[in-house]
Every structure is written in structure tokens, then in C-alpha cells.
């Protein structure tokens, strides 16, 4: 995942306004070595329009969702309603390292494009 200066500033404690889900996805994606921004946890309190507006402003054109909750269909529908398009199955990195493993495991994810 490429470095995004505005989100790095948040990680350094400098103020900036982004949806908490965007910040959390960026932090996890950088730490685990994901190829693209991955939403492993989507906080349903965030409005999808706000998340997608942040993605556009930050120049993010594609991302994945590896959320494993029963709310996955609502999450995907929320992103589509906010202007994204589900494209294909892919993989992302888990948010944890399993006991005895050396790295984050690959997990199933769904790739979306920001329109």
C-alpha cells in the first residue's frame, strides 16, 4: 500500500478529519503490507458517503473489503450506493498474525472501484 501523507499525519498525532473507518483501514493496510486499502472492519456508524468522499479526496481509486461479519451484504450495498462498484474476489492481509506464523495471513476479500 502506498504511503498517503495526509493519513500518515494522523498516525503521527497531527489533526485531520477523515472517517474513522478510513483511518483504521489505512493503519492496518500499512502495518500488514496489503497491496491496497482494505476494510477489515467497517464501523456501521460511519456514513458510506463520507468514506467514499474521503477515498476520492485522498486519490484512492480501488480498495477491498475483507470484513467477515454478517453485515457484509449491507456494507457492500452501502459502498455501491455511495458510488463504488464491486468488481471481483481478491485477497487481503488478516488483521492478526496467527500463533506460530511469521506474517499476516491472506484472507478472502472483495475488490471495489471508486467511481
Residue 11 has pLDDT above 80, yes or no: no
Rounded distance, CA 39 to CA 35, Å?
A: 12
Report the pLDDT value the prediction gives residue 7, as an integer from 0 to 100: 82
Report the pLDDT value the prediction gives residue 92, as an integer from 0 to 100: 96
Average of per-residue pLDDT values in the chain: 88
Joined together, the cell numbers standing for residue 65 give 473489503
pTM of the predicted structure, to 2 decimals: 0.84
Sheet with 84-93, strands from edge to edge, namely 37-39, 62-65, 106-114, 84-93
Looking at the structure of the chain, the number of domains it has is: 1
Domain of 104, CATH number, reads 3.30.110
Domain span at 81: 5-114
Amino acid at each position: 500500500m502506498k504511503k498517503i501523507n495526509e493519513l500518515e499525519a494522523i498516525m503521527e498525532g497531527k489533526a485531520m478529519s477523515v472517517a474513522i473507518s478510513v483511518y483504521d483501514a489505512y493503519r492496518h493496510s500499512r502495518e500488514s503490507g496489503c497491496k491496497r486499502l482494505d476494510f477489515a472492519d467497517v464501523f456501521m456508524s460511519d456514513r458510506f458517503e463520507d468514506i467514499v468522499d474521503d477515498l476520492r479526496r485522498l486519490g484512492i481509486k480501488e480498495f477491498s473489503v475483507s470484513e467477515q461479519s454478517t453485515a457484509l451484504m449491507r456494507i457492500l450495498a452501502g459502498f455501491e450506493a455511495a458510488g463504488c462498484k464491486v468488481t471481483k474476489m481478491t485477497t487481503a492481509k488478516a488483521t492478526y498474525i496467527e500463533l506460530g506464523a511469521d506474517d499476516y495471513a491472506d484472507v478472502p476479500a472483495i475488490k471495489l472501484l471508486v467511481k
